[in-house]
Each structure stands twice: as C-alpha cells, then as structure tokens.
C-alpha cells in the first residue's frame, strides 16, 4: 500500500546541523517533499511529506525516532 504522510521534525543544538532529510532520501524507498522549514545554527524544524510504501515510511519514521529529533507524524492519504 502506498501512503503520503506529513512529518514534523524538530532538532536542537548540533542535531540541527545534521543532514536528516538527505539521509531519508538516500536510505529509504520514500520520496521526501519539504513543505516548510526553518533552519539556523542551533535550532531547526521541517514539515516534510513522505511518499511511498507504508512499510518504508514506517521504517523511516522509526529511524528518525532513534536520532534524537522530535518527530510527529500525521497520516494524510492512503492509496492502493
């Protein structure tokens, strides 16, 4: 099943300077669409849309939760 899930990511301090979005696109079978973001030296947040197989989106979100980021997901649309 294919899904589109909006995910809010918040990072503080050194975590704000890590390439989290690049890693999502490289390591998981999902398309990452940055909808909004604000990044500075010691704080960053982004609202991204993950599009792909639901299993890959779940894997990607599980990985994000291991990074120390604040992660909040909002399911938007499911397709066949």
- CA atoms of 55 and 1, how far apart (whole Å): 8
pLDDT in tens, the chain (80 residues): 889 999 999 998 888 888 889 999 999 999 999 999 998 888 999 999 999 999 999 999 999 999 989 999 987 656 54
- CA atoms of 62 and 71, how far apart (whole Å): 9
CA angle centred on 19, ends 27 and 63, rounded to 5°: 45
> Given this model, what pLDDT does residue 13 score?
87
pTM, whole model, 2 decimals? 0.85
Domains (range + CATH), the chain:
2-75 (3.30.70.260)
- CA atoms of 25 and 60, how far apart (whole Å): 9
- CA atoms of 76 and 65, how far apart (whole Å): 20
> Given this model, what pLDDT does residue 76 score?
66
> Given this model, what pLDDT does residue 80 score?
47
């Amino acid at each position: 099943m294919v899904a589109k899930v909006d995910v809010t990511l918040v990072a503080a301090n050194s975590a704000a300077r890590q390439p989290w979005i690049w890693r999502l696109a490289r390591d998981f079978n999902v398309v990452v669409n940055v909808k909004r973001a604000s990044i500075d030296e010691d704080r960053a947040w982004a609202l991204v849309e993950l599009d792909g197989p639901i299993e890959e989106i779940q894997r990607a979100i599980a990985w994000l939760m291991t990074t120390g980021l604040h992660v909040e997901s909002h399911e938007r649309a499911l397709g066949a």
